[in-house]
Amino acid sequence: MENSYGSINNDKKEETEIQKNSFDNIKSKYVLKQIFDMLNRKTMLKIINYCKKIQQRIEITIEDFIELCKVEIEVMPRDLYVGDIRLINIPADMKSYCHIFIDDDPKEYFSETIPREKVVKKVKIILDYQMVNFEHLFKGCGSFKYIHFKRFKRNDITTMYDMFKGCIGLKEINFEQFNTENVRDMNSMFSECFSLKK
């Protein structure tokens, strides 16, 4: 499939070409995932807007695109950690795009810290596609011992400055699904990660 999506705009001629070459042939989420892997966030948003116009003519939904854009992270606090657990650092205007779940509780947890009296085994963090700045994301989260990027297919993140700075208890990061293709700033990314082994 040709990567013609980068030229999507409101021009009638280009929309017709896209429809002829691409959307009429999309039949499954597997194909959709292949398309997503070729795209960046800016192009994806253009596709989402285009889908709104032709939604009745294709067998996918806008929600499918948005779901694929999400980043899923699993973290585990250190054993016998003393003090409140800092989970993440999210700018005030981005808080609604961060979703936190504690252990197996299906209810969303609406705080960036966990009080010291609460025993926690694992934390799942889901970041929506609107989250584009990963600067300081886990800065000062000294209670973590393990971070696993379970899903990270996006290629539109450009800065990870200070991303893990001060994670003094962090021993391991699983980068199995970690995309740094277009990251330009990784300065101090692992600064003060004294316990990090791999």
Average pLDDT of the chain?
Answer: 77
Looking at residue 3, what is its pLDDT?
Answer: 44
Whether the Cβ atoms of residue 178 and residue 151 lie closer than 8 Å to each other: no
Residue among 119, 38, 110, 53 nearest 82 (CA):
119
Structure confidence at residue 70 (pLDDT): 85
Tokens describing residue 34: 């292949």
Phi, psi of 45, rounded to the nearest 5 degrees: -65, -35
pLDDT of residue 50: 66
Least confident span in 103-112, 144-153, 175-184 = 175-184
Q: What pLDDT does residue 100 have?
A: 95
Q: What is the pTM of this model?
A: 0.70
pLDDT band at 85 (very low <50, low <70, confident <90, very high): confident
* Residue 54 pLDDT greater than 70, yes or no: no
What pLDDT is attached to residue 44? 64
pLDDT value for 1: 41
Length of the chain: 198
pLDDT at 6: 46
Where do we find the tokens 């316990």?
195
pLDDT for 78 equals: 80
Contacts of 190 (CB under 8 A, 6+ apart): 164, 165, 196
pLDDT 10s digits, 151-166:
887 777 888 999 999 9
Per residue in 112-150, pLDDT tens?
988 887 888 899 999 988 888 899 999 999 889 999 988
Averaged pLDDT for residues 67-95: 84
